[in-house]
Copies of this chain bind each other. A is one copy, B any other.
Amino acid sequence: MAKFKLDEIDHQILDMLIDNTRVPFTDIAKKLVISAGTVHVRVKKMEEAGIIKGSSLTLDYKKLGYSFIAYVGVFLQKTSQTKFVLERINEIPFVTVAHVTTGKFNIFCKIRAKNTEHAKDVIFKLDDIEGVYRTETMISLEESINDKKRLMHSIFNEL
């Protein structure tokens, strides 16, 4: 996985697109005092290089009625079952991310649900997977996000 060289202009373009992907290229061009064609070519190159993997909408899941977030640590009977269990976990709706981890848990996942009742259903599905010994749930009382823009800036400052 080779690093890819981005220059200051690429940084600026990403900076303008990272939290609003529909900013017109003409606006970016104006701000950076380059032509819109150049913006287009550079974005295309970053897409081809795979630096830009895609774009997505940020939805307000709370407004959709899904305000419950929890992290669930999964203990396995044998670590050799990791792959199998991970595949089963990925089939469970409302599990949003899963990681194989070192440390306390074998697998660690995040779930998003309507409420505790609904979360219980999801966690029971996790517990029911063959090879899962037990789970440990941490309910999120408050989420505080250090946004993508900040992460990107930190990365650019170090490069």
Which residues does A use to contact B, with CB under 8 Å?
1-4, 6, 14, 17-22, 49-67, 69, 71, 86, 89-90, 93-105, 108, 112, 114, 136-146, 148, 150-152, 154-155, 158-159
Say whether B139 contacts A101, CB under 8 Å: yes
Say whether B20 contacts A65, CB under 8 Å: no
Copies of this chain, whole number:
2
Interface SS of chain A: mixed
Say whether B53 contacts A140, CB under 8 Å: no
Q: With A3-B63, A22-B22 as given contacts, are A56 and B148 in contact (CB-CB < 8 Å)? A: yes
List of B residues within 8 angstroms of A56 by Cβ:
18-21, 55-56, 58, 148
Chain B residue nearest to A148 (CB atoms) is B56
Q: With A93-B150, A99-B71, A99-B143 as given contacts, are A58 and B53 in contact (CB-CB < 8 Å)? A: yes
A138's contact among B18, B105, B114, by CB below 8 Å, is which? B105
Q: CA of A152 to CA of B57 in the docked complex: distance in angstroms? A: 11
A94 to chain B, nearest CB (A): 6
Say whether A64 contacts B3, CB under 8 Å: yes
Say whether A99 contacts B21, CB under 8 Å: no
Task: Give me 10 A-to-B residue pairs in the complex whose CB atoms sit less than 8 angstroms apart, sorted by A's number.
Answer: A1-B67, A20-B54, A20-B56, A21-B56, A59-B148, A93-B154, A95-B146, A96-B151, A100-B141, A103-B137
A126 to chain B, nearest CB (A): 13
Q: CA of A67 to CA of B155 in the docked complex: distance in angstroms? A: 12
List of B residues within 8 angstroms of A148 by Cβ:
56-57, 59
